[in-house]
Amino acid sequence: MESKAKITAIGGYVPERIMTNQDLEQIVDTSDEWIVRRTGMKERRIAGPEEFASDLACGAIRDLVKRYSFDLSDVDLVIVSTTTPDYGFPSVAAMIQAAFHLEHAGAFDLSAACAGFEYALHVANGLVSSGLNRKVLVVAAETMSKVTDYTDRTTCVLLGDGAGAAVIEQTESNGSFLGAYMGADGSLGKALYRTGLSTVMNGEVLINTGKMVQNGREVYKWAVKTVTTGIQKLLEENEFQFSDIDWFIPHSANLRLIEAIFERLNVPMDKVLYSLEYYGNTSSASIALSLSEAVKNGKIKKNDRLLLYGFGGGLCHCGQIIKWDL
């Protein structure tokens, strides 16, 4: 399907509190040198005790409105990607609908973990291109610190909180979405999970702390293989070459993982954008934050071609090629 959907605004938000590597040294057996060497991260932002995904989402939307003097009154759908919603229900999307008085908008949350923003963009593109919706607000908002086990030294150093937002509108020509590729491998769900109503998966009892549990080695192996192959297929199936892409924007999981993926693809790291150095791994919000920051700092220019690729829990992955036309 030819895209008849265009990205018309972008915004981002992170909480005020900064957690440095030195702060983590006081919590768990680690060091600034070890964290930087293994992850590339120096800081991450942490939501306050009474600050939740809906609060971060609203912050990102307010940033979007301010940056583009944007009118949200005719938004007809809100899609939120989050694995850390304030409540089981109502959805974060419904809370946004109320907060911004979007009287004519439907609202739902989508859960695809770290690939969630790309899944949500894919859904929004389909709905707008088909004519079912005209103006969709897509938000990714995560408070990963609230589900982080701060006794797990290999995982707790990675995670931070943040949100990003984008508006997708109907257009008759020059749609933003040039191609997509998505997939999942649910058989590896036990490599990265957080328990819910069930504490058993495929007959195996799970660690039931309510916090995120990750088999880092297993996820790393899956991500390097899957994302490398996925990017190649995304380009091939949509008849693009690596040289056609101005910026690659992967999920900001871990700098060493990102380096391993793009070394295999023979893509120089100066063409790769990420948000992990000062925000950490913000799950589905990471690509939205990378995009928002790069636009704000003037790195991404009009007519640049961007390749986004999210991957994580599920295990889910999704990539898109976008023409930036703001």
CB atoms within 10 A of CB 104: 11
Q: Which two tokens stand for residue 236?
A: 């091939």
Q: Which two tokens stand for residue 105?
A: 């908008």
Work out the angle at residue 43's Cα, subtended by the Cα atoms of residues 228 and 83, and round it to the nearest 5 degrees.
Answer: 60
Q: Which two tokens stand for residue 128?
A: 């707008």
Q: In what order do the strands lie in the sheet with 177-184?
A: 177-184, 316-323, 305-312, 247-250
Q: Which residue in 133, 156, 251, 254 is the catalytic one?
A: 251
Distance CA 140, CA 95 (A): 14
Considering only CA atoms, give the Rg of the chain.
19
Q: Which residue in 281, 316, 317, 318 is the catalytic one?
A: 281
The residue behind tokens 């995560």 is 142
CB atoms within 10 A of CB 172: 7
Distance CA 15, CA 80 (A): 18
Contact 92, 82 (CB under 8 A): yes
Distance CA 128, CA 137 (A): 11
- Is residue 316 among the annotated active site residues? no
Distance CA 121, CA 320 (A): 9
3-state SS class at 194: coil
Q: Which residues contact 69 (CB under 8 A, 6 or more apart)?
A: none
Local structure of residue 206 (DSSP, 8 states): P
Q: Which residue in 21, 58, 114, 122 is the catalytic one?
A: 114
* Percent of the chain that is helix, strand, coil (3-state, to 5): 35, 25, 35
Distance CA 285, CA 212 (A): 17
- Is residue 114 among the annotated active site residues? yes
Active-site residue numbers?
114, 251, 281
